[in-house]
Structure 1
Amino acid sequence: MPDTKPSSSSFHPTLAVTNIKNHVTVVLGMDNDQYPLWIALFTNYAKSNRVLHHIIKPKSGGPKTPTTDEAKEMWEVLDATVLQWIYATVNNDLLETIVEEDSTAMACWNRIRDIFLDNKHSRAVTLEQEFSHTAMSDFPNVSAYCQRLKSLADQLKNVGSPVIDTRLVLQLVSGLTEAYHGVGTLIRQATPLPPFYRARSMLTLEEASFAKSVATSGSSSALYAKSASDGASPSILGRPPSQPQGKNNKGNGNKKKVKNGKGHTNGSRSPNSNANGSGESSNTSVPAAPWT
């Protein structure tokens, strides 16, 4: 329990914080859905620095109201520090909405709560509809899909409509794409149903397996293409080599080439040779050029 009467030489850990964004890494905005995460990070850090009572009124056993001038001054300094933490972890649009002159940290905290938690029933209906229609096909990967479902479940909890873990897992499975139906069946048929974090891990491992298979297939294709371009034998890649040229293939006319006296090469056909290779003119003759 914090001391409400610190001496002039006392030092509060809150005053040592130089950058709250190193600890509350979420920037809260009016158009995002990170309020539950921001609340969790902020309250935990405020508690670790013994200033939680500046934003949340304790139910019982809280710090007593400071009575001395020195204690009042310290309380005001700490409250202003926590208020500055709030201002530093929200975006400009939300900051313009919540900032008020001479405001306390608790008053500012409550204004943010009212912004995000007003009209609980209407918000619950909207969130419930989005939660029930969330599908993996709308997301780039498993992590983004699971994160969205968890975020919607947290928001439903904040508006008084908590989602039990079993329903969260079943919604996770029902929204999977065709490629993940195998692991989805394993999750759905498990008794008892695995918790959400374990089901998410199973899907992440399946996604990694898919990525590895694609990478292996791509590497094999690249190896074959490179080997072919380098002139390597395709038999290296498990394919039968093509029949080499110049090896007594049928009809390739592989005969010893000797020039005759007329300048022709034996074993090869001149344009005027007939089918028997005798070198005699065929019925269709080509007249000699006048200069020969």
Structure 2
Amino acid sequence: MVNRQVGTYTVPTLNISNCVIVTLTDQNYVLWKNQFETFLAGQGLLGFVNGSISVPQATVTVTGTNGTSSVRPNPEYQSEYQNWSRTDSVVKSWLLGSFAEDILSIVLSCTTSYEVWHTLANHFNRVSSSRLFELQRKLQTIEKKDRTMAVYLRELKSICDQLASVGSPVTEKMKIFAALNGLGREYEPIKTTIENAVDSVPGPTLEDVVPKLTEFSRVLSA
């Protein structure tokens, strides 16, 4: 892997698919953003999306010996702009290549990586509040009913994962309470046992109680 140094940043040549493995969808923006920011920062290219590496200017301000300032053509403008434009195009292509197909339409009119990044931020900030409310409601109202314990817990874990992806991770204690809350009265014995253990130190995780719930469900079904 070789990067050629140009100015204060590098023109990248590596394959991003080896570093960013999350595809951006409607459900995982925070997770995708964190991974992409880490990758760009490691390459010295985060400035292209946060605006700190801006488009080179065609003019420069020069201060004379008498303290007065004047604007003059930037003699390095052409080479600086070519290097900036080429690197920005690579960063933009990385971004677009990590999107699910339905996300591409959101940034269709964007011309730079900065525009792509901030258009995404504006879009997901608008939808995050309503999605957060929807997921929290699902977590509070999920019920096992006549499903198998495995299917029920799989859905609960999926909701928790989605909450984490929008920046609202669920504590292990709340995961356990949500799992127990969705069980019927026939599960009262195991619910009481698990509830009594929740405040122990260290407390159990959802993964710790899954075998207990699964075994109790198996016994009920026998």
TM-score (norm. length: structure 1) = 0.51
Alignment partner of 1:28 is 2:24: yes
Q: Which structure 1 residue ranges, 5 or more long, are not aligned?
A: 218-292
Call closer, same or farther: CA 1:25–1:183 in 2, change over 3 Å.
Answer: farther
Query: Counterparts of 1:45-194 in structure 2 under 5 Å?
Result: 45-57=39-51, 68-69=76-77, 70-100=79-109, 103-118=111-126, 121-136=129-144, 140=151, 142-155=153-166, 157=168, 166-176=173-183, 184-189=191-196, 190-192=198-200
1:35 and 1:127 map into 2 onto residues whose CA distance is 15
1:69-119 Cα distance to aligned partner (Å, 9 max, x none): 444433322221121111111122221231225x11121111112222215
User: Distance between the aligned counterparts of 1:193 and 1:98, measured in 2?
Assistant: 48
Residues 44 and 122 of structure 1, relative CA distance in 2, 3 Å threshold: same
Give aligned-pair identity as a percent: 18
CA distance in 2, matches of 1:168, 1:208: 16
Preserved CA contact (<8 Å) 1:136 1:145: no
Question: Gaps (5+ residues) in structure 2?
Answer: 58-75
Q: Distance in 2 between matches of 1:184 and 1:17?
A: 52
- Match of 1:171, as an amino acid? A
Query: CA deviation digits over 1:226-279, x for unaligned, max 9?
Result: xxxxxxxxxxxxxxxxxxxxxxxxxxxxxxxxxxxxxxxxxxxxxxxxxxxxxx
Distance 1:117 1:5, change over 3 A: same
CA distance in 2, matches of 1:186, 1:50: 52
Conservation of the 8 A alpha-carbon contact between 1:55 and 1:105: yes
Q: 2:208 aligns with which of 167, 177, 202?
A: 202
Q: TM-score, normalised by structure 2?
A: 0.64
Q: Which of the pair has the greater relative contact order for Cα pairs under 8 Å at 6+ separation?
A: 2
In angstroms, what is the RMSD of aligned CA positions? 4.0
Task: Tell me if the contact between 1:83 and 1:105 (Cα under 8 Å) persists in the aligned partners.
Answer: yes
Maintained 8 Å contact 2:143/2:183: yes
| Structure 2 letter corresponding to 1:127 | L
Q: Which amino acid aligns with 2:121?
A: R
Which structure's CA Rg is the greater one?
Answer: 1
For 1:50, what is the secondary structure of its paired residue? coil
Q: Are the counterparts in 2 of residues 149 and 172 from structure 1 also a CA contact under 8 Å?
A: no
Matched, 1:15 2:23: no
Describe the shift of the 1:201–1:182 C-alpha distance in structure 2 as closer, same or farther (beyond 3 A).
Answer: farther
Specify which structure has the higher proportion of strand: 2
Q: 1:173 to 1:48 in 2, by over 3 A?
A: farther
